[in-house]
């Protein structure tokens, strides 16, 4: 039997502003070309932040000991899943922001040489 959680459930009039549901923000706007009211559906700000936090976690300093290929596969798997879930409707601007963040983060991760074979000094290095 399905029961609603009183603290989490609420009735919303969609004509009076936006609301978040299942990671999406639903918002009614007027289309300037046709003067009709349309409903925009896009990933919520909270979902965007969770995406960035997850990518940061996957590429953090803790992952530097993991081979780059494995880290890249994990990030790629996560990004594909996120995009497949949120690809509907009016997500172009959100995806542009997330893409910019992802490119910057991956560039930074790859420039550090993380996951590469560690550079070791010869045994006699530093001895006189």
pLDDT in tens, 83-126: 999 988 778 899 999 999 999 999 988 888 766 654 455 555 54
Name the pTM for this structure: 0.76
In a domain, 72, yes or no: yes
- Distances, alpha carbon 80 to alpha carbons 86, 109, 126, in Å: 10, 19, 47
In a domain, 116, yes or no: no
In a domain, 74, yes or no: yes
In a domain, 31, yes or no: no
Domain of residue 89, residue span: 45-111
**Per-residue pLDDT, 119:** 47
In a domain, 85, yes or no: yes
Cβ atoms of 46 and 20 within 8 Å: the answer is yes
pLDDT digit string, tens, across residues 18-57: 888 899 999 888 888 888 888 889 999 999 999 999 999 9
* Domains contained in the chain, number: 1
In a domain, 11, yes or no: no
Does the pLDDT of residue 128 top 50, yes or no? Answer: no
- For strand 19-21 and strand 24-30, is the pairing parallel, antiparallel, or unpaired? antiparallel
């Amino acid at each position: 039997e399905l029961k609603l959680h009183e603290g989490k459930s609420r009735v919303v009039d969609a004509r009076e502003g936006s609301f978040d549901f299942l990671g999406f923000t639903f918002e009614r706007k007027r289309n300037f070309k046709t003067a009709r009211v349309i409903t925009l559906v896009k990933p919520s700000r909270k979902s965007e932040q969770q995406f960035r936090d997850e990518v940061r976690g996957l590429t953090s300093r803790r992952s530097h000991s993991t081979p780059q290929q494995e880290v890249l596969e994990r990030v790629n798997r996560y990004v594909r899943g996120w995009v497949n879930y949120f690809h509907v409707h009016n997500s172009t601007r959100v995806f542009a922001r997330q893409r910019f963040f992802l490119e910057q983060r991956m560039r930074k991760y790859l420039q550090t040489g993380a996951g590469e074979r560690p550079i070791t000094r010869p045994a006699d290095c530093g001895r006189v």
